Structure formats: C-alpha cells, structure tokens
Chains A and B, each alone.
Chain A
Amino acid sequence: MSSAVQLFFDAASLGGIYAMAALGIALIFGVMNLVNFAHGEYIAFCVFALIVPSTEAVAVMFLGKAPAILLIPILLAIGGAAAVASEYVVFRHMRKATPVAMMISSFALGFIIQNALLAVYGGRPKAISLWPDLNTPIALAGAQLPLLQLIVILTTLVVVCALALLLKKTRLGLEMRAAAENFTMARLLGVRANVVITGAFALSGALAAAVALIMATQTGVADVRMGGQIMLVAFIATVIGGLGSLPGAVAAGFLIGAASILLQGFLPLEVRPFRDAFLYTLVIICLLARPQGLFVPSSAKPRI
C-alpha cells in the first residue's frame, strides 16, 4: 500500500516536470510552428543563474541566496527574458523561413547557450543546495515523501490552471489561440504578430524557469548538460500529445513520467538499467498507433 502511494507521487512529480517542460515547447510551436530545441538550454541557463559565475567545482549561491518570495519571481522573469531575447535576436529574423530552417537555428542557439555556460561555469557538474529542507521526508498515507514532491505536483497543477485561465480569459490568451489556429487571419483582424509571439516566448521562458527551480532543488546539481536530457523527453511528450496541443503536451508529459516510474518500479532487476530502451519502445508504439498524437490539434495550418 505505502509503496503504491510512493509510486503515485513519484510518477506525478516526475510527470509534472515533463508536463511543464513540454508545455513550454508546445506554446511556441502553437503560434509559430517552431520546435524550439533551445528550450532545454533556457532551463540550464536558469539553473546557472542561481549561482555565482565561476569555473570552481563548488558552487556559491548568488541569486539562490535570495528569499523564495523574491527568488521565484526574479527567476521566472529571467527565464522569460532569456526566451524573449532569443526570439528577438534569432527567430524574429526567420519568420518567413521554413519550419526546418527555424528548428535548425534553434539547435544552433541551444549549442551557443550551452557553450556560453561551459565557458563561464566550466564543464564539471556542481553541487548546489537550494532549499535543502524541501527534501526532508514527511509521512503521508503511510509513505515517506519528500515535501518537494508535493510542492512539484501542486506547482504543476497551479501552473497548468493559471495557463489555461490566461489562455481562456485574457485578451492575450484569445489572441494567442486565434493566432495558433490561423496567424494571417488574426493579423488581418489587427492582432499584432509581435505581441503574440513575444507573449508566447515569455510564457515559455517562465515555464523553463519553473522547471529549473524544481530540478535544481530535486537533484542538487547544476550541470550544463541537464538541458539536453529534459528537452528530449519534453519534445517527445509534445509529439506524443500532438504537436501544438497544450492539453496533449500536459497529458503526455504525465504519461511519460508515469511510464518511466512504473518501469523503474516493476522491471526485473537485471534489465532495469535498460529502462530507457523500454520507455522509448513504448514511445514508438504510441507513435505507430496514433502518429497524429494522442490529442490531435484542431488545426495544423502553416503560420505567418
């Protein structure tokens, strides 16, 4: 019983991280048909923004020392600003380019950010300690759970609901949904392309920052390679969910999180190290069964 509870919370918290990362990718894909492979590097960038720039092995907290009530909004703003800046510097000049050209540019941008982090912080993973108290276990329903897991799950729910409200209830949300369906038509009705795209990048960057905070707390490590790993899973989630579908991205993020925890829990010991091979087999089966994604987006029109 207690281990079932444990599994549930493990799955939900891992899935929550994937879901938020996938949402960040799906948001931008929705408005401009861009699979932004630099998204993982926004996450890494936000993690490193917590510590003092140096190539020393031991990390000295910088922004990470600020009280949470300051730290959280500042880091969300940093993530949003980084994403908006990358749009301004790179993607704005590619609005008429093909989706493939934009995707390649996003790869390039990702490598540039990663190498910049390497140059400033060095390549060795650094131990960081952000809110260590959150990893102390608490007893719940007979299981021992780190408080952080509950916070991650709650955070995911809050983030998903807030985003849904924003899309449903605000002017920007309406314009983003209209633009996601038919960008040219939205512009013909006076919707400013720059406002919608900047808005999507800002939200996406803020989501990256939220993921960064959770990963930094949970793993206690700052590693320049961390972005690539989460990006891969998040990208797969957006494809399985149906590229461009926000609910699909969230659902598929949770699905992958759950699958990976269940495989970890129930695979025979001797094959457990090869868990990812099983996970990706499931991914392939998913894509074979429903190539258009579990949730088909209502439109797949070219944007702009």
Chain B
Amino acid sequence: MSKLGVFDVSVRYGKVPALTDVTLHLEEGERVFISGPNGAGKSSLLGAISGAVATSHGRIEMDGDLLTGRSPEAIARLGLSMVPEGREIFGSLSVDENLRVGTGLRRDRNAVEGDIAEIYDAFPILGERRNASAGALSGGQQQMLAIGRALMTNPKLMMVDEPSLGLAPKIVDQVYDTLVQLQEDRGLTLLIVEQSSTRAARVGGRMILLRSGSVVGDGNAADFAETDLLSEAYFGKSNQEVAQ
C-alpha cells in the first residue's frame, strides 16, 4: 500500500478542467516534486488532495483511508499538512500563535511546547520574533513560519506548494536545506511543487511532470533537467518537432 494514492482524479472550476484523470502514487518517506508550467494544475492537485478543492472524478487515498469527500480539517487529522502557495500565514496573529493554530488536532498535547521549542531551534529568527505579528516578517521568514506551522500538526505527509516563490536564491537554498533535514529527522513523506527542474534535480528526488492537467512524465528529477519531456511540458511540442 502506498503512502498516497491518487486514482483518475479530475478537477474542474465550472466548465474549465484543471486536472484530467490524474493518477500518481507516493511511497512512505519519498520526496516527490511536481513540476510543470503555470496553469498546469499543480496547485489544484494539492488542493484536491488536501480537501480544499472538490474533485469531479476519481479517488484519493492516504494509508488506505479514503480522502475524497472529506473536509480539509478531517484530512488534516489523518496526518496531512500543507504549506500553501503564497504561504498564507495569519498576518494578524503573532508568530507563536501561528504555530499553535494547527495543534488543536493533536492528542499528545503535552508534546506541543517541546515541538514549538524545536521549531525555534531550527529557525532562531522565529524564536526571536515569537511575539511579533506574523504579517511583519519578511518573505523568507514567512516561508519558514508556514513550514513550522505545518509541522506543528505532526504530519506524516507534508505538501509544499512553490516554496521558492518570490524568494532570493540564497533563501531558497536555506528553505530546501531545512526541508531535507526535516524529512531525514522525522521520516516525513514530502510532496513539493517546484517549477524549476534544475532546483529539483539539485535537491534530488522523484519528479512528476504536469501539463494542461495531465501527467506527462514521472521519473528521477536528475534525469529530467534537460530532457525533451520537460521542454514538451513547457512548450507543447518536443524538440524533434521543433527541429523539423
């Protein structure tokens, strides 16, 4: 049984299809990148898995539990956590409060304080600014906070949507170092949306390529960096066709 199974899932907004019959699987502890051009349906896929976006067809399972049809809060309770595109931190709440929003679903309430201390260890700047309003943090700090906040639900599977969006390359390096480290420490399964295949190749893992709502490639991220499949995904035709 795989960690996450997506079977023939379709998503549409009104009449506009965003995903068509997408099937994919993640194994326990795996790191998988979803790549593809803007509008390919990457965020819609994460939305469908997390329950924030309704599916029109297909089914999604995590650890054998059916996710399809469940509310986002019920899915979060099954151990799925999300760092959304644009981070979506609660700007009017303090840094500390942001970290605590997701702890309501936990049974091990007395472990919460220790986990918050761990987050502050991993991201000292968040600890320094724990009582500051989260809206006042820089983009990079907000990304760290969004990751820390997602971790506070104690997830088994974490999804991160475009963590590099709007961040300086040096900060992106830090974010990925942190994600990789966290995965090693906690045995997390990670599903990351990343537009840059070179970045994905450098971090390492499996990569699934989406185009126009369909899976058009699935393999080792390193092998993807310069292949025809990628340019096909981005430009709609293979290099051979262009050459002819």
Question: Residues on A close to B: CB < 8 A?
Answer: 171, 174-175, 177-178, 181-182, 184-193, 298-299
A228 to B92, CA, bound (A): 33
A185 to B88, CA, bound (A): 7
B72 at the binding interface (Cβ < 8 Å): yes
Stretch binding the partner chain, chosen from B97-105, B173-181, B202-210, B212-220: B97-105
Stretch binding the partner chain, chosen from B12-20, B23-31, B76-84: B76-84
B91 at the binding interface (Cβ < 8 Å): yes
In the complex, the answer to whether B104 meets A187 with C-beta atoms within 8 Å is no
Which residues from B are CB-within-8-Å of A299? 91-92
In the complex, the answer to whether B73 meets A182 with C-beta atoms within 8 Å is no
In the complex, the answer to whether B88 meets A171 with C-beta atoms within 8 Å is no
Which residues from B are CB-within-8-Å of A298? 91-92, 135
In the complex, the chain B residue whose C-beta lies closest to that of A298 is: B92
Q: How far is the CB of A296 from the nearest CB of chain B, in Å?
A: 11
A186 to B82, CA, bound (A): 11
Please pick, from B73, B82, B84, B100, the residue contacting A174 in the complex, using a CB distance under 8 A.
B100
Point out which of B76, B77, B104 has the most chain A C-beta atoms below 10 A from its C-beta: B104
B234 at the binding interface (Cβ < 8 Å): no
Which residues from B are CB-within-8-Å of A181? 90-93
Q: How far is the CB of A220 from the nearest CB of chain B, in Å?
A: 42
User: B41-84 toward A: CB 8 Å interface, digit per residue (1/0)?
Assistant: 00000000011100000000000000000011100110001101
In the complex, the answer to whether A171 meets B104 with C-beta atoms within 8 Å is yes
B156 at the binding interface (Cβ < 8 Å): no
Which residues from A are CB-within-8-Å of B143? none
A87 to B9, CA, bound (A): 33
A271 to B91, CA, bound (A): 48
In the complex, the answer to whether B93 meets A178 with C-beta atoms within 8 Å is yes
B10 at the binding interface (Cβ < 8 Å): no
A192 to B100, CA, bound (A): 14
Please pick, from B77, B84, B135, the residue contacting A190 in the complex, using a CB distance under 8 A.
B77
Nearest first, the 5 A-B pairs at minimum CB distance are A190-B105, A189-B102, A190-B76, A298-B92, A187-B72
Given contacts A174-B100, A193-B73, contact A188 B50 (CB under 8 A): yes
In the complex, the answer to whether A182 meets B104 with C-beta atoms within 8 Å is no
A174 to B150, CA, bound (A): 16
B153 at the binding interface (Cβ < 8 Å): yes
Which residues from B are CB-within-8-Å of A188? 50-52, 72-73, 76, 81-82, 84
User: B192-235 toward A: CB 8 Å interface, digit per residue (1/0)?
Assistant: 00000000000000000000000000000000000000000000
Which residues from A are CB-within-8-Å of B104? 171, 175, 190-191
In the complex, the answer to whether A189 meets B101 with C-beta atoms within 8 Å is yes
Point out which of A184, A190, A193 has the most chain B C-beta atoms below 10 A from its C-beta: A190
Question: Residues on B close to A: CB < 8 A?
Answer: 50-52, 71-73, 76-77, 81-82, 84, 88, 90-93, 97, 100-102, 104-105, 135, 149-150, 153
Point out which of B72, B76, B92 has the most chain A C-beta atoms below 10 A from its C-beta: B72
A174 to B90, CA, bound (A): 11
Which residues from A are CB-within-8-Å of B84? 185, 188
A298 to B136, CA, bound (A): 12
Given contacts A174-B100, A175-B101, A190-B105, contact A182 B88 (CB under 8 A): yes
In the complex, the answer to whether A174 meets B72 with C-beta atoms within 8 Å is no
Which residues from A are CB-within-8-Å of B77? 190
Q: How far is the CB of B4 from the nearest CB of chain A, in Å?
A: 16
In the complex, the answer to whether A186 meets B101 with C-beta atoms within 8 Å is yes
Which residues from A are CB-within-8-Å of B135? 298
In the complex, the answer to whether B76 meets A177 with C-beta atoms within 8 Å is no
Please pick, from A171, A182, A193, the residue contacting B71 in the complex, using a CB distance under 8 A.
A193
A sample of 26 cross-chain residue pairs with beta-carbon separation below 8 angstroms, ordered by A number, consists of: A174-B97, A177-B92, A177-B97, A178-B97, A181-B93, A185-B88, A187-B51, A187-B52, A187-B72, A187-B73, A187-B76, A188-B50, A188-B51, A188-B72, A188-B81, A188-B82, A189-B76, A189-B81, A189-B149, A190-B77, A190-B104, A190-B105, A191-B73, A191-B101, A191-B104, A298-B92
Which residues from B are CB-within-8-Å of A191? 73, 101-102, 104
Which residues from A are CB-within-8-Å of B81? 188-189
Given contacts A182-B88, A185-B84, A190-B73, contact A177 B105 (CB under 8 A): no
A172 to B5, CA, bound (A): 34
Which residues from A are CB-within-8-Å of B97? 174, 177-178
A171 to B104, CA, bound (A): 8
